[in-house]
Amino acid sequence: MPKVTYVDYAGNAQEVDVPVGENVMHGALYHGVEGIVGECGGGLSCATCHCYIDDAWTQKVGGPSSDIEAELLEAAAAEVKPTSRLSCQIEMTDALDGLVVHMPESQY
């Protein structure tokens, strides 16, 4: 099963298994990872699952998957960076095994 490493704002890392086909947000929520709220449950209607893709993974993950994601990111509480994504929009694949995501200081 692919693994994702979630790094909180303080630099603490937590590695979890996230099944292929599941999204990165649910991986965090199901394992009690602090820093991703996912208030809308992955319905693409908030930005409380905002994360930063580690520089080593930006090419594989890519940018926002839709105009809606890009618009929601503009309203994120934390600074939006070129590596910003909504974790509910990143579907796990075997190719993303080892993915590293960083959480912003706050989702609100």
Each residue's pLDDT tens digit, 35-49: 999 999 999 999 999
Domain membership flag for residue 71: yes
Each residue's pLDDT tens digit, 83-98: 999 999 999 999 999 9
Domain membership flag for residue 72: yes
Domain membership flag for residue 51: yes
Each residue's pLDDT tens digit, 5-45: 999 999 999 999 999 999 999 999 999 999 999 999 999 99
The residues pairing with 91 across neighbouring beta strands, listed in sequence order, are 23
| The token pair that represents 66 in the structure block | 């839709």
Give 69's pLDDT tier (boundaries 50, 70, 90): very high
Domain membership flag for residue 108: no
Cα gap 50→28, rounded to integer Å: 12
Total tally of structural domains belonging to the chain:
1
Non-local (6+) Cβ contacts of 16 within 8 A are 3, 4, 6, 27, 28, 30, 31, 33
Task: Please give the residue range of the domain that contains residue 7.
Answer: 3-102
Cα gap 56→61, rounded to integer Å: 10
Domain CATH code at residue 64 = 3.10.20.30
Look up the pTM and report it: 0.96
Give 82's pLDDT tier (boundaries 50, 70, 90): very high
